[in-house]
Structure 1
């Protein structure tokens, strides 16, 4: 009560100083807002009328006991009785975690530092739960980071860096809940490795790069070889296909040509058979054979080749008679079977008769020329063998029997040899 009386006396006696106190409070608040959150004073002077800045909480004690937490804005406190014991910032605070050593699961010593972001959630617990909240959080972050690094290997430190940060945050929040703090995030800033470990890792990286380069080069060579082999295979296949198609087409062409020739030959033989089976057909055939024989015999003396001639070179009639005898035997049955159709083939017989007459005239001219050739050939043989007297052979005598009933061909009488008795 005595204290209240003193305060009332001061208020009544120093009304003029209230404005000055308010100005001092405002200046102190402005200075406080420019300072860092870690450097906030643990206590402030009670000036009766107090202005709490935004995002701050003032813990007020009365007679050494917690009274209340002042919110931002205008607050009136009783001087001397009420004391502003703690000032807590509700902003997010950044704390540097100093470098420390840690040993991984595979016994590699690392040096790490980081950055911690936290915020005061409960000003009361932050003031009365721990003596120095910031120091406690820093120590907790260091120990947690050292503990989590001991659970993983060196290779996993770089691969699981994000997971390591999350594990540290969860461990800090679990322990700092009683302090009224919340760790928002933790980031590992720098990882320092021993020199030998760095060299080994560099060699490993270089070896891995060389391995990948060799693998890529070998795969490229393999792909190139496969492509070349595939191209050669396709080329050979296409070439063989082209050759096969060419051979097939050539065979088809030859088969078509053979078939066409065979068809033409069959048609010619069929037509020739019908013509020979008609009237005067055999006579025309005999005439054709005789013409071919005479023409071939007439060409013997025109070349310088060595030839084997029969003994009787002028016996043309026997040669033709022998050929026509074979022909008569082959066509005798055909002629006998086709005599009944003579009326239907009248036109063919007339044409054959006309051809036969013309051929007969030509044959007579050829025979006359052949007689002269035979005389010359006989004289040459006589001069070649003077020991044996020879007499000139008379020219061969040819008779053409053009009887309508004679189908055996022309009758050719061979010349008589005067040396034969």
Structure 2
């Protein structure tokens, strides 16, 4: 006969096995004699010992599956794409998720491979980088249509990495480096051009100011000479004598300025006592010849205009005489 304490222990074990707990964001499938009985949600639950059993637990939280796919682009470049699929079990369709699919991750992976290998070969490598979101949307659309019947909802699909072949990647880096070097050369050439233009403008402005300064200097010198001649005329010295005195004075001032320089290599020619007088005579002769040439040109111009007027006056008379004949 079975001792009573054994019976009590069995009873306690059976009583305790009738209770179980379900965690938050999860569901428990309960079967009775191997047949589906019910779905239990989070909290403390009760089942019939020996008769009912827990067939499995379903996670209702959002899960992520990373799929790495190697495929070829339109321009025959092999790339590896990492596609992250975020999905969850629909709470109202736990039965389909548990009983219709034994390996849901494998099913999702197969659909991702199928869609990516159908979309990426339509694009060139550069377009794959630019339009990766379009590929992700296509993957999500196909997955939703296929997996919703099994109780799975696709929350999002992300292409988190695009890794071309190492040789292609190096070529892309070289192209990028060459493009940046070209841009840098263009900027350097533009900067050089700006410096040259600025330097030319500065030199032009410097020459203009220098010329203006020389013109102002000569104007002031001429004004000073005129004033000097006026002063000498007031004391009884005529213009020719005053001009000679000014030329001689400036000549000796120049000689004094040259002699004051220790390291000067300038040689002033002619450098005789008569140099000032000769210079003055040459200047007077030049001015006289210039005036004579100017007067001759004026006379020739006046005579030509007079002859032209005489011809114009005589032409009507000749025409009238011809008409009379």
Could you tell me the TM-score, scaled by structure 2's length? 0.55
Cα 1:101/1:67, change in 2 over 3 Å: same
Shift of residue 248 of structure 1?
Answer: 6.3
* Unmatched runs of 5 consecutive residues or more in structure 1: 1-12, 24-46, 266-421
Q: Distance in 1 between matches of 2:11 and 2:202?
A: 102
Q: Which residue of 2 aligns with 1:133?
A: 104
Q: Which residue of 1 aligns with 2:172?
A: 201
What does residue 95 of structure 1 align with?
65
Post-superposition CA distance 1:197-252 (Å, at most 9, x none): 2343344234324323332332232222222223223323433444455566667x
Q: Secondary structure at the match of 1:130?
A: coil
Q: State the partner residue of 1:236.
A: 207
- Map 1:8-19 onto structure 2 (within 5 A): 16-19=9-12
Residues 1:225 and 2:204 aligned together? no
Give the 3-state SS of the residue equivalent to 1:150 in structure 2: helix
Whether the 8 Å CA contact 1:95–1:117 is kept in 2: the answer is yes
CA shift for structure 1 position 257: 5.0
Q: CA deviation at 1:71?
A: 0.9
Paired residues, number: 226
Q: Does structure 1 conserve the Cα–Cα contact (< 8 Å) formed by 2:15 and 2:49?
A: no
1:380 match: none
Which of 12, 15, 20 matches 1:50? Answer: 20
* Match in the other structure for 1:71: 41
Can you list the C-alpha shifts for 1:35-89, whole angstroms capped at 9, x where unaligned?
xxxxxxxxxxxx4222112221012345666543201111112245544334201
Unaligned runs of 5+ in 2: 1-5, 235-325
Q: Partner of 1:333 in structure 2?
A: none
Equivalent residues in 2 for 1:241-280, closer than 5 Å = 241-243=212-214, 253=223
Q: Is the 8 A contact 1:129 1:178 kept in 2?
A: no
Judged with a 3 Å threshold, the aligned counterparts in structure 2 of structure 1 residues 226 and 125 are, in CA distance, closer, same or farther, namely farther
1:105 aligns with 2:74: yes
Change (3 A) 1:79 1:241: farther
From the superposition, tell whether residues 86 and 248 of structure 1 become closer, same or farther in structure 2 (CA, over 3 Å): farther
Counterpart CA distance in 1 for 2:118 and 2:35 is: 39
State the distance in 1 between where 2:211 and 2:154 align.
78
CA distance in 2, matches of 1:227, 1:21: 99
Q: 1:223 to 1:77 in 2, by over 3 A?
A: same
Larger Rg: 1
2:150 alignment counterpart: 179
Q: 2: CA distance between counterparts of 1:175 and 1:235?
A: 81
Of 90, 101, 118, which residue of structure 2 is paired with 1:121? 90
- What is the alpha-carbon distance in structure 1 between the residues aligned to residue 147 and residue 226 of structure 2? 104
Tell me if the contact between 1:63 and 1:82 (Cα under 8 Å) persists in the aligned partners. yes
- Once residues 245 and 169 of structure 1 are traced to their aligned partners in structure 2, the CA distance between those partners, rounded to angstroms, is 85
Provide the alpha-carbon RMSD of the alignment: 3.7
| Distance change in 2, residues 1:53/1:109 (3 Å) | same
Aligned-partner SS, 1:54: coil
1:152-174 CA-partner distances (Å, limit 9, x unpaired): 21123334445544553444334
Deviations 1:141-162 (A, max 9, x none): 2222323322321123334445
Q: Deviations over 1:296-327 (max 9, x none)?
A: xxxxxxxxxxxxxxxxxxxxxxxxxxxxxxxx
Tell me the residue number matched to 2:125.
154
In 2, distance between residues paired with 1:200 and 1:77? 66
TM-score for the superposition, normalised by structure 1: 0.44
Identify if the C-alpha distance between structure 1 residues 169 and 240 changes in structure 2 by more than 3 Å, giving closer, same or farther.
farther
